[in-house]
Amino acid sequence: MTVDEWAKPDFIKLVSARALRWSAVFAFFFVGASNAKDAGTGVVPERELQTKITYCENCHGVSARGFHGYYPIPRLAGQQAEYLKNQLQAFVEHRRTNNIMFNVSHVLSPAMLDALATSFQNLDPKPLASAAPKELIDEGKKIYEEGLPNSDVPPCASCHGPEAKGDGQFPRLAGQLSDYVFNKLTNWTKERGQNSANPDASAIMAPIAHSLNQLQIKAVAAYLNHLE
């Protein structure tokens, strides 16, 4: 699959067929286990945690490396725990719009949320291979490290770190799927910032995303996917 193919609007579907299939299979499990055993103790049984992790990996891939489907599903491995928890709460409160993730998120107890976020942060698999053109990596690196002063785009590294590992509320971008990064940056306002009165921390990205053209976004996405 070429970069142009994954960048075309007709390739970007509203939902992943795979995600819908597994959501249907496991919907009863998640609704029935909404508060489970950890509600009273604050401790999640290991078996229950592993079951939830396996559920997440059905869509986010083995070791949560991400999944290239009709709609790219992001890498969770190595992600900042604080960011993961913030974004799951944003789905619950409809500050991010995604029906599948709302159904997954709103039934998680605080203890399970903490346990999942920590578990995913501790994973460190190799990045999933991407169709992003390698010839764009150098340009993406330059934008990431230096920004685009003439377009008021600051260096990405100023928030996401020199190795794109993230920090607290700022997400890890290293190893993220290039098609996912491209889709998020080119469609930012269609998913993020749905409640302007109560925005999540990612609201800072709106003017940056709007200031990048598609070639620049492809370059940054290629560079980030290359990082481990």
Q: DSSP assignment, residue 56?
A: H
Stretch 57-75: mean pLDDT? 94
Q: Which residues of 143-176 are buried (b: 16+ CB within 10 A; e: fewer)?
A: bbeebbeeeebebbbebbbeebbbeebbbbbbbb
Indicate whether 82 and 154 sit together in one domain: no
Residue 112 domain flag: yes
**Roughly how many angstroms between the first and final C-alpha of the chain, as a whole number?**
22
The pTM score is 0.80
Q: What band does 19 get if pLDDT is binned at 50, 70 and 90? A: very low
Same domain, residue pair 110 and 17: yes
Residue with tokens 């159904």: 103
The pLDDT mean for the chain works out to 84
CA distance readout (Å), 65 to 40, 59, 120, 153, 174 = 32, 10, 10, 28, 11
- pLDDT recorded at residue 202: 78
42 pLDDT band (50/70/90 cuts)?
confident
What pLDDT, on the 0 to 100 scale, is given for residue 189? 79
The pLDDT value given to residue 190:
79
Last residue of a domain, one of 54, 89, 121: 121
- Does 127 reside within a domain? no
